[in-house]
């Protein structure tokens, strides 16, 4: 055994899973049809990995929605409110109804059940469904999916696959206590017997290796948490002495958890050497090196799309080979390949991805090949084919280092010459607020939305036609204008205070800007799962960033011409563009981010000059860029906040700068958020019932803020009462005059009917809240 893989993208080469899930949800296909799609994706993935020459191939890395949700279902950790859906029926043996209800909420048959929370998977743009725990939480083995998939993989492969499971400690640590009086780790004693059951059953089925993912080992842990790993793994070891445990963590160093890890009774340990190459020498100093434990060396970047530098990788690996012997080394990608697109070979059109850039890239399938080539070079250094690949790799690496596509001296100079004044508004917030209030004249609790409106089939078709040149630019623009006109009318009818143009011209909030900036390239099929059936196609940021022309002014200006109410200009911020792109790895991220900031700044200025008085710079990704280890936070936050301020600070006091953030915990970086000094922030809170507000008890958030009053990630229409309740909770900790009323994110994934209903209720809620304030004064 020389190589293995930690996980393969499960959306399918052409997003087959997305389509099938959405059809299933719409009632257009049966669960059997959906399951058939799942089977064929799995089969294709296993075959791809086998053909690439990977020795140990994962199973159970497939999921219809999310691997943490799979785990919750398998372990019977099903929140009580889903009780009415617990019954399995013969029509739904996989409990897909329950499963998707947990992910997306359920509003049918007179039931109204809220979805479980979703949050970012470490520092990725993947979202997992957060397990919910109660003090009396019990677990039971509820689903056979894992065991069936093991048999299925074995049959397809003709060899024994390696089941992948979230380990018990990370499973608990990634979950959430839904009531007071206990700590999630207290549940370990109740949870472990189920893991024992699972492992024993896999062992009985013939499994030999099993991959236990414990990504929490990349985080700052307390001693009690570390001890949980020690006792959990001792117990699992006793229960299944013959099963081989491959323990995997990724995205960061083991760091101060290493001493604990080195003592665990495991058979192989995976190291992410892309994020932390330094830890290899540390590991070789531990007792683990003196046992027979294998090391899985994650040398091929599972988080980015650049080709591996094979010479460098071989150098990196060598000390481990010298110390342990080649037979104790396994080569692998740094983490699951879930975070990169499937296959570069799906990129056929030369105009989207120029050949010169393409040779710098490797997607999931190519990464498998890189892993296998490295293993071949280690085991048979003279192997002809591997040598040829190595030579080609060298040539591509050198080409990328020197390519004129990448370097733009004027842009680099502009970043170099930035001064403090460039990240400073003219006046402090209080003064700006007065100026803005005088000009904008907004009511108490102004209502607004986050930017995008439902993207209908017609809108997507219009964009696709333009892309394929089947529609003239004039026709395309006329269509967009028509959408904007309708959206403005609709918002006026609803009675919203600050309008938006609706973002109908945008496929994706980052891709749209990337396409208009120099320094970006685009794949046609480079999709990556973001959550559930939602996929994103991150732009490839390969060179110095430059804005050749205004990007949004035309649409904002048109929208503003249709209404006396203020229309918000809508931009994506530098940190988010950075975070949601595949970013060049040949210069510090900070430098790339400041290049982006300058491009956004120029756009902000152009919008202001075109008469747009409110400009939103979305930074939903600022929190997820946070390093996993706290010791690295300040460095990151300093440049991230600086980048936002550079983007926002060129305008006069009367221009109201908004920002928007979603999908994270913000409590721990609330001071950095305040430091961004946006005049207004709209922020996700509704799914977590406004937990964010806890932060404001001790922290006086200085500027205006719109804590989202309803969850747009579910089709459920919120009631007026529940939104008023949330508003009142906000009013308890924030001054009423600083509060805005808005949904918690953009509405592009919703449909019009539910959106209309939801916003009607929202405007009503704001109205009633205003009245209640006037009554009390």
Catalytic annotation, residues:
713
CA dist., res. 6 & res. 501, Å (int): 43
Q: How far is the CB of 508 from ligand GLN (least distance, A)?
A: 9
Q: Which is nearer to Zn ion, 187 or 662 (CB)?
A: 662
Subset of 721-760 contacting Zn ion (CB under 5 A): 745
499 binds ligand GLN (CB under 6 A): no
662 binds ligand GLN (CB under 6 A): yes
Q: What angle do CA 523, 527, 529 make, to 5 degrees?
A: 160
Subset of 614-653 contacting Zn ion (CB under 5 A): 620
Subset of 504-533 contacting ligand GLN (CB under 6 A): 509
Q: What share of the chain is helix, strand, coil (3-state, %, to 5)?
A: 50, 15, 35
The item of ligand GLN, Zn ion, none sharing an interface with residue 73, based on CB under 5 to 8 Å by kind, is none
Q: Comparing C-alpha atoms, which of 755, 747, 708, 745 is closest to residue 727?
A: 708
Task: Give buried/exposed letters for 338-371 (b at 16+ CB in 10 A, else e).
Answer: bbbbbbbebbeeeebbeeebbbbbbbbbbbbbbb
Subset of 375-414 contacting ligand GLN (CB under 6 A): none
Q: Comparing C-alpha atoms, which of 283, 169, 295, 170 is closest to residue 231?
A: 169
Mind giving me the DSSP string for 365-415?
A: HHHHHHHHHHHHHHH-TT-HHHHHHHHHHHHHHHHHHH-TTT--HHHHHHH
Q: Which is nearer to Zn ion, 69 or 681 (CB)?
A: 681
Site size toward ligand GLN, by CB under 6 A:
13
Q: How far is the CB of 509 from ligand GLN (least distance, A)?
A: 5
Residues 6+ apart with CB under 8 A from 770: 443, 444, 445
Q: How far is the CB of 63 from ligand GLN (least distance, A)?
A: 22
The pairing of beta strand 132-133 with beta strand 176-177: parallel
Q: Which of 662, 681, 695, 763 binds Zn ion (CB under 5 A)?
A: 662
Subset of 575-634 contacting ligand GLN (CB under 6 A): 618, 620
Q: Which is nearer to ligand GLN, 212 or 450 (CB)?
A: 450
Compute CA distances 287 → 223, 245, 261, 292, 550, whole Å.
20, 17, 10, 10, 59
Strand locations in 121-277 (E): 127-129, 132-133, 162-166, 176-177, 209-213, 244-248, 268-272
Cα-atom radius of gyration of the chain, to the nearest Å? 26
Q: Which of 2, 660, 716, 750 binds ligand GLN (CB under 6 A)?
A: 660
Q: How far is the CB of 503 from ligand GLN (least distance, A)?
A: 6
| Backbone phi and psi for residue 627, each to the nearest 5 degrees, phi listed first | -60, 150
Asked whether 279 and 253 are in contact (CB, 8 A), the reply is: yes
CA dist., res. 71 & res. 42, Å (int): 18
- At 518, which helix (H) or strand (E)? strand 518-521
The item of Zn ion, ligand GLN, none sharing an interface with residue 415, based on CB under 5 to 8 Å by kind, is none
Which of the stretches 198-206, 605-613, 740-748, 760-768 binds ligand GLN when contact is defined by CB under 6 A?
740-748
Q: Which of 248, 570, 695, 727 binds ligand GLN (CB under 6 A)?
A: 570
Q: How far is the CB of 661 from ligand GLN (least distance, A)?
A: 7
Subset of 744-763 contacting ligand GLN (CB under 6 A): 745-746, 748
Q: Which is nearer to Zn ion, 252 or 754 (CB)?
A: 754
Q: Which is nearer to ligand GLN, 194 or 745 (CB)?
A: 745
Q: Which is nearer to ligand GLN, 338 or 662 (CB)?
A: 662
Subset of 438-457 contacting ligand GLN (CB under 6 A): 450-452
Q: How far is the CB of 684 from Zn ion (least distance, A)?
A: 6
Residues 6+ apart with CB under 8 A from 676: 619, 641, 644, 645, 648, 659
Which of the stretches 12-20, 630-638, 718-726, 741-749 binds ligand GLN when contact is defined by CB under 6 A?
741-749
Q: How far is the CB of 747 from ligand GLN (least distance, A)?
A: 7
CA dist., res. 44 & res. 13, Å (int): 9
The item of ligand GLN, Zn ion, none sharing an interface with residue 748, based on CB under 5 to 8 Å by kind, is ligand GLN
Which of the stretches 184-192, 439-447, 632-640, 743-751 binds ligand GLN when contact is defined by CB under 6 A?
743-751
Ranked by CB distance to ligand GLN, the top (closest) residue is 746
End-to-end Cα separation, the chain, in angstroms? 75
Site size toward Zn ion, by CB under 5 A:
3
Q: Which is nearer to ligand GLN, 612 or 745 (CB)?
A: 745
- In the stretch 574-613, what mask flags binding to Zn ion with x, by CB under 5 A? ----------------------------------------
CA dist., res. 740 & res. 443, Å (int): 10
Q: How far is the CB of 749 from ligand GLN (least distance, A)?
A: 9
Q: Which is nearer to Zn ion, 317 or 528 (CB)?
A: 528
Q: Which is nearer to Zn ion, 143 or 452 (CB)?
A: 452
Number of neighbouring beta carbons within 10 Å of residue 279: 17
Helices and strands per DSSP (H, E), number in the chain = 27, 24
Q: How far is the CB of 476 from ligand GLN (least distance, A)?
A: 20
Task: Give buried/exposed letters for 570-606 (b at 16+ CB in 10 A, else e).
Answer: bbbbbbbbbbbbbbbeeeebbbbbbbbbbbbbbbbeb
Which of the stretches 3-11, 77-85, 298-306, 742-750 binds ligand GLN when contact is defined by CB under 6 A?
742-750
Q: Comparing C-alpha atoms, which of 723, 768, 705, 740 is closest to residue 445?
A: 740
The item of ligand GLN, Zn ion, none sharing an interface with residue 451, based on CB under 5 to 8 Å by kind, is ligand GLN
Q: Which is nearer to ligand GLN, 400 or 748 (CB)?
A: 748
CA dist., res. 491 & res. 590, Å (int): 39
* SS3 label, residue 319: helix
Cross-strand pairs, 706: 682
Q: How far is the CB of 40 from Zn ion (least distance, A)?
A: 34
What is the binding site for ligand GLN (CB under 6 A)? 450-452, 503, 509, 570, 618, 620, 660, 662, 745-746, 748
What is the binding site for Zn ion (CB under 5 A)? 620, 662, 745
């Amino acid at each position: 055994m020389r190589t293995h893989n930690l996980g393969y993208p499960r959306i399918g080469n052409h997003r087959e899973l997305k389509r099938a899930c959405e059809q299933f949800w719409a009632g257009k296909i049966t669960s059997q049809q959906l399951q058939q799609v799942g089977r064929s994706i799995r089969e294709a993935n296993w075959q791809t990995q086998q053909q690439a020459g990977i020795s140990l191939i994962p199973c159970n890395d497939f999921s219809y929605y999310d691997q943490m949700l799979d785990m919750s279902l398998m372990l019977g950790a099903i929140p009580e409110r889903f009780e009415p859906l617990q019954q399995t029926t013969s029509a739904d043996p996989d409990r897909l109804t329950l499963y998707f209800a947990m992910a997306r909420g359920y509003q049918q048959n007179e039931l109204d059940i809220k979805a479980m929370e979703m949050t970012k998977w470490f520092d990725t743009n993947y979202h997992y469904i957060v397990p919910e725990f109660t003090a009396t939480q019990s677990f039971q083995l509820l689903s056979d999916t894992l065991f069936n998939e093991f048999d299925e993989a074995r049959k397809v492969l003709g060899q024994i696959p390696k089941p992948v499971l979230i380990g018990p400690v990370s499973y608990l640590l990634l979950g959430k206590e839904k009531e007071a009086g206990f700590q999630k780790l207290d549940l370990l004693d109740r949870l472990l017997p189920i893991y024992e059951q699972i492992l024993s059953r896999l062992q009985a089925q013939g499994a030999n290796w099993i991959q236990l993912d414990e990504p929490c080992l990349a985080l700052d842990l307390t001693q009690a948490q570390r001890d949980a790993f020690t006792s959990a793994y001792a117990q699992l070891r006793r229960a299944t002495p013959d099963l081989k445990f491959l323990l995997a963590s990724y995205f960061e160093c083991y760091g101060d958890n290493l001493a604990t890890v080195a003592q665990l009774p495991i058979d192989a340990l995976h190291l992410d050497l892309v994020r932390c190459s330094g830890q290899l020498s540390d590991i070789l100093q531990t007792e683990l090196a003196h046992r027979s434990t294998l090391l899985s060396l994650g040398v091929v970047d599972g988080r980015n799309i650049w080709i591996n530098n094979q010479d460098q990788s071989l150098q990196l690996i060598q000390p481990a080979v010298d110390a342990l012997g080649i037979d104790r080394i396994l080569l692998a990608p740094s983490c699951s390949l879930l975070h990169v697109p499937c296959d570069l070979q799906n990129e056929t059109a030369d105009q989207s991805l120029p050949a010169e850039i393409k040779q710098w890239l490797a997607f999931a399938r190519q990464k498998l090949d890189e892993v296998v080539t490295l293993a071949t070079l280690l085991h048979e250094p003279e192997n002809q084919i591997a040598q040829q690949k190595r030579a080609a790799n060298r040539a591509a690496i050198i080409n990328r280092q020197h390519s004129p596509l990448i370097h733009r001296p004027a842009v680099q100079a502009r970043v170099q010459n930035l001064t403090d004044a460039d990240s400073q508004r003219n006046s402090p917030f209080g003064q700006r607020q007065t100026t803005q209030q005088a000009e904008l004249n907004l009511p108490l609790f102004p209502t607004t939305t986050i930017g995008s409106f439902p993207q209908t089939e017609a809108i997507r078709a219009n964009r696709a036609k333009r892309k394929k040149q089947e529609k003239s630019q004039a026709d395309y623009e006329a269509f967009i204008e028509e959408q904007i006109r309708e959206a403005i009318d609709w918002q006026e009818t609803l009675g919203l205070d600050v309008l938006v143009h609706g973002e109908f011209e945008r496929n994706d909030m980052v891709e749209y800007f990337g396409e208009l900036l120099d320094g970006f390239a685009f794949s046609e099929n480079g999709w990556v799962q973001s959550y559930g059936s939602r996929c994103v196609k991150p732009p490839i940021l390969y060179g110095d960033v430059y804005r050749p022309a205004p990007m949004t002014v035309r649409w904002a200006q048109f929208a503003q011409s249709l209404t006396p109410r203020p229309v918000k200009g809508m931009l994506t911020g530098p940190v988010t563009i950075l975070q949601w792109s595949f970013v060049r790895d040949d210069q510090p991220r900070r430098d790339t981010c400041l290049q982006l900031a300058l491009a956004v700044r120029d756009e902000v200025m152009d919008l202001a000059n075109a008469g747009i008085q409110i400009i939103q710079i979305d930074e939903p990704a600022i929190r997820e860029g946070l390093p996993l280890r706290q010791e690295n936070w300040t460095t990151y936050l300093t440049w991230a906040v600086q980048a936002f301020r550079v983007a926002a600070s060129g305008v006069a006091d009367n221009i109201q700068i908004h920002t928007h953030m979603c999908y994270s915990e913000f409590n721990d970086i609330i001071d950095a958020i305040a430091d961004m000094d946006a005049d207004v922030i709209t922020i996700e809170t509704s799914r977590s019932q406004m937990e964010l507000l806890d932060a404001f008890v001790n922290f006086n958030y200085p500027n205006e803020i719109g804590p989202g009053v309803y969850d747009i990630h579910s089709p459920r229409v919120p009631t007026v009462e529940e939104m008023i309740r949330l508003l009142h909770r906000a009013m308890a900790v924030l001054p009423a005059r600083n509060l805005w009323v808005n949904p918690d994110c953009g509405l592009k994934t919703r449909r019009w009917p539910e959106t209309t209903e939801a916003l009607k209720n929202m405007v009503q809620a704001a109205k009633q809240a205003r009245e209640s304030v006037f009554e009390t004064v």
